[in-house]
Chain A
Amino acid sequence: MKTITRRRLITTGLAATAGIAGVTEAARLAKRYGLAPPDCGGIYGPGETLTYAASRIFGAHAMAREFPRSMISEKPFANETPPLSDDFHQQQAVGFKDWTLTVDGLVSHPTKFSIADLKTLGRSSQITEVSCEEGWSYVAEWIGTPLAAVLREVQPAPQARFAAYFSVQRELWGSIDIAEATHPQTQLTWAMNDGDLPVGFGGPLRIRVPRQLGYKSLKYIDRITVTDSMKRFGKGLGSVDPEYGYSWYAGI
Chain B
Amino acid sequence: MPPAPQPTVVAPRHSLVVRITHWLTVIAFFALLISGLEIVISHPRFYWGETGNVMTKPLFTLPIPSSRDTVPTAYKFVMPDQNGWSRYLHFQAAWLVLLTGAVYFVVSLWNRHFLRDLWPPAGQRNLQAYTRVITSYLRGRHRSIDDASSYNVLQRTAYLVVIFVLFPLMIWTGLAMSPAFVSVAPWSSAVLGGKQSARTLHFAVTFALTFFVFLHIVMVTLAGFWRRMRAMTTGLPASPVHEERP
Contacts and interface: CB of A to CB of B under 8 A. Distances in A.
Interface in A58-73: 58-59, 62-65, 67, 71, 73
A213 B184 contact: no
A239 interface: no
Interface string B18-45: 0000000000000000000001101101
B186 interface: yes
B42 A134 contact: yes
- SS class of chain B's interface: helix, strand, loop or mixed? helix
B210 interface: no
A200 B68 CA distance: 18
B52 interface: yes
A79 interface: yes
Interface in A105-125: none
Contact of A79 (B70, B96, B177, B184): B70
A149 to B, nearest CB: 21
Contacts of B177: 131, 135, 252
Interface string A92-109: 000000000000000000
Interface in A32-73: 44, 46-48, 50-51, 55, 58-59, 62-65, 67, 71, 73
B128 to A, nearest CB: 37
B173 interface: no
Given A48-B88, A80-B70, A137 B195 contact: yes
Contacts of B53: 73, 76-77, 132, 136-138
Q: Which of B39, B96, B175, B178 has the largest number of chain A CB atoms within 10 A?
A: B178
A80 B78 CA distance: 15
A129 B238 CA distance: 55
Contacts of A47: 88, 91-96
A138 B51 contact: yes
Contacts of B56: 73, 75
Contact of A75 (B12, B55, B186): B55
Contacts of A51: 91, 95
Contacts of A137: 50-53, 195-196
A218 to B, nearest CB: 16
A62 B186 CA distance: 10
B184 A58 contact: yes
Nearest to B44: A135
Interface in A187-224: 210-213
Given A2-B12, A44-B92, A65-B182, A133 B54 contact: no
Interface of B: 8-10, 12, 39-40, 42-43, 45, 50-56, 68, 70, 83-85, 87-89, 91-96, 175, 177-184, 186, 189, 195-196, 199, 235-236
Interface of A: 1-3, 44, 46-48, 50-51, 55, 58-59, 62-65, 67, 71, 73, 75-77, 79-80, 129, 131-139, 210-213, 244-247, 251-252
Given A67-B50, A132-B53, 19 more contacts: A2-B9, A2-B235, A47-B93, A48-B88, A48-B92, A59-B180, A64-B183, A65-B182, A65-B189, A71-B50, A73-B55, A129-B179, A129-B195, A211-B183, A244-B84, A245-B85, A246-B83, A247-B84, A247-B88
Q: Which 10 A-B pairs give the minimum distances between C-beta atoms?
A: A245-B84, A47-B92, A251-B180, A136-B53, A252-B178, A44-B88, A75-B55, A62-B183, A135-B43, A77-B53
13 contacts: A3-B8, A44-B89, A48-B88, A50-B95, A59-B181, A59-B183, A65-B186, A73-B51, A129-B179, A135-B40, A137-B196, A246-B83, A251-B178
